[in-house]
Amino acid sequence: MLELLQINYLVEIRNRLIAFVCLIFFVLLVSTASVLNADQHTIKAHGFNFFGELKYPNDFQHLDYVNPNAPKGGEISIWGFGTFDSMNPYSRKGRAASLSSAPFESLLVETGDEIGSSYGLLAESIEYPADQKWVIFKLRKEAQFSDGTPVTADDVAFTYNLFLEQGLPSYRAVLAEIVQGVEVIGPYTIKYIFSDQASKRDAIPIVGGLPVKSQAWFERSQARLDESRMEPAVGSGPYVLDSFEINRWVKYRRNPEYWGASLPINRGRSNFDEIRVEYFADTNAAFEAFKSGAYTMRVENSSKSWATAYDFPALNDGHVVKKLMPDGGIANGQSFVMNLRREKFSDIRVRKALSYLFNFEWSRESLFYGQYARINSFWENSDLAATGLPSSEEMMLLSPLESDLPSGVLTQDAIMAPVSGTKPMDRSNLRKANALLDDAGWPVGADGLRRNASGDTLKIEIIEDSAAFDRIVLPFVENMKAAGIDAEYDRIDPAQYTDRTRNYDFDIITDQFPMSYEPSSGLKQYFGSETADDSVFNSMGLKSSAVDTLIEHVVAAENKSDLKVAVKALDRTLRAYNFWIPQWYNDQHRVAYWDMYEHPEEIAPYDLGYLDYWWYNEGKAKALKDAGFLRQ
């Protein structure tokens, strides 16, 4: 009996042990499953914003700043400067016609009233994990190219490989760094796998922003992305090329069979039947043509014209509208840019000296009629611009780079452009420039010209292709001459200008550095060392390990606070290199148009949108034509 009790006891112990082990196994299994589910949790959405702030819900009906009932029809015409000899906007070869990228669409598209948001266009939805190691785009099955063929995942994959192999070198470098691989999962489903180096913030927008090309068209035509050609590739957008006459005009027409006309993202947009671009060799001829009705819409970029030339019968009689409209964007970074590839600019003292010789204050009052403010920052007109001394947060990023930074970045206020007097030549600034040039080893000789130890004169040439800049550049050149610089201004034709700038054959040009509110990998094309020798955007050829590191901090920022700190640190560092002489900006659009166009009462803060969401008033247009003001 005792033995039987012992056996029963042992069996009970065994059963309890088995039950306990099973319980432990079950808990571990559940826990593991939970972890796996957490790892495999994906986000499915109709758009993307890294900071999670999409303005428009999945069921939105139209963008807030458009008129969803805007009528379709009519023509709008604008002007283009110089010449064109290509319909391929994605190549460094040739000079592409205005709006030649208009026929192409991307998987995602930005809006004019948000920062950092992208919504599905060709893509119906996107899916990605929390760590954003990959993204899946599900294409809209109704999407098609203008030749009636469907837009498929194969076309998207082909586009990626096309840009990777034949795109602009600086863009290829960024794309290759971000994407590890592409998988076509189904006819309308494609997956991008990102590398460990990819920025979580812009990897998805970059691949989602590629203009999708037709694989069949490229294979049939044997065209290349990096060539100049007049035959446009097939796109899926609302407009297609209609006709052109080289160097005179180009016309696009709205595709009546456009597949995406009824999408919420497109309602109230692409309202004109035709968009025409008239080309002119100089700005004066272009303005006279506008006055005569040769084209109908003008965004004025000349302060002098805005202040003095808008006094003609059609305007005074109310047939032409002239107005200021708000511009909420960051200043475009327009500036005189020095080519750091030239030995003469290797000494920062020479670059600083030149900044003292451009008199903005006199130019603003005497040439610009007080209409412009000075640019000081690459993020001017935003809260991303560096001010004063570096903050403690900025110092955490800058201090480890001290040995590679320009002097003063850590200890001085962010560099501001020199302030001048009210005369063309500011004597105080001239003395400062002279002292810097003397210290840099360019003393003035008996003939009044500065020479280095080898006897070479300090020869500096500014090139331009627009006569509108003559009145601005010539006083600057005279100031340089007063400082003993062998300065020259050479205005050349647009084709020469394009060739020389793309081959970095210049001393100083006017260029722009348009930055965004949420900058990321694109900064490498403007300021990165890796692309400095082949980027069309890094015109000065900046190579700085400190800047490269700060760009990485910007790219890696995972919240807006960190982003702001990193951008401010980068901004003050870029400004300390003095490779630019910042010019000016205006926080308003100056617009003039023949009175047959209408727009919403409140336009988008970041997009004037006259070719996008404005529309044509047929009755007003007929009245102008019947009165003989416009061509029939």
Q: Which CATH class is domain 47-66+88-221?
A: alpha beta
CATH assignment, 335-391+459-585: 3.10.105.10
Residues 6+ positions from 258 with CB-CB distance below 8 Å: 146, 237, 238, 270
pLDDT, tens only, 95-110: 999 999 999 999 999 9
Tell me how far apart the alpha carbons of residues 574 and 162 are, in angstroms, rounded to a whole number: 33
pLDDT of 421: 87
pLDDT of residue 14: 45
Domain edges within the chain:
47-66+88-221, 239-326+589-626, 335-391+459-585
For residue 24, the model assigns a pLDDT of: 41
- Asked if the domains 47-66+88-221 and 239-326+589-626 are classified in one and the same CATH topology, the answer is yes
**Fold classification of 239-326+589-626 (topology level):** D-Maltodextrin-Binding Protein; domain 2 (3.40.190)
Give the integer Cα–Cα distance in Å for 629 and 632: 9
Using a 10 angstrom Cβ sphere, with 0-12 exposed, 13-18 middle and 19 or more buried, the burial of residue 402 is: exposed
Q: What is the pLDDT of residue 30?
A: 39
In the sheet with 274-280, reading across from the earlier edge strand, the strands are 75-81, 274-280, 249-254, 239-245
Report yes or no: 563 and 554 within 8 Å, Cβ to Cβ: yes
Q: Which residue carries 């009145």 as its tokens?
A: 471
User: How does pLDDT run across 291-333, given as a tens digit for each residue?
Assistant: 999 999 999 999 999 999 999 999 999 999 999 999 999 999 9
Q: Report how far residue 461's alpha carbon sits from residue 532's, in angstroms, rounded to the nearest whole number.
A: 21
Question: Can you give the pLDDT at residue 27?
Answer: 39
- Spans of the chain, pLDDT less than 70: 1-40, 631-632
Dihedral sign for Cα 343, 348, 350, 355, please: positive
Which pLDDT score, from 0 to 100, does residue 173 have? 84
Half-sphere exposure of residue 486: CA atoms within 13 angstroms, side-chain side: 15
Q: According to the model, what pLDDT value does residue 545 have?
A: 97
* b/e map 3-35, b = 16+ CB within 10 Å: eeeeeeeeeeeeeeeeeeeeeeeeeeeeeeeee
Q: Are 421 and 365 in contact (CB under 8 A)?
A: no
**Residues 49 and 192: beta-carbon distance below 8 Å:** no
Q: Could you tell me the pTM of the whole model?
A: 0.84
Only one residue has tokens 């997956």, namely 191
Distance in angstroms (rounded) separating the CA atoms of residues 62 and 266: 7
Q: What is the pLDDT of residues 219-269, one digit of tens each?
A: 999 999 999 999 999 999 999 999 999 989 999 999 999 999 999 999 999
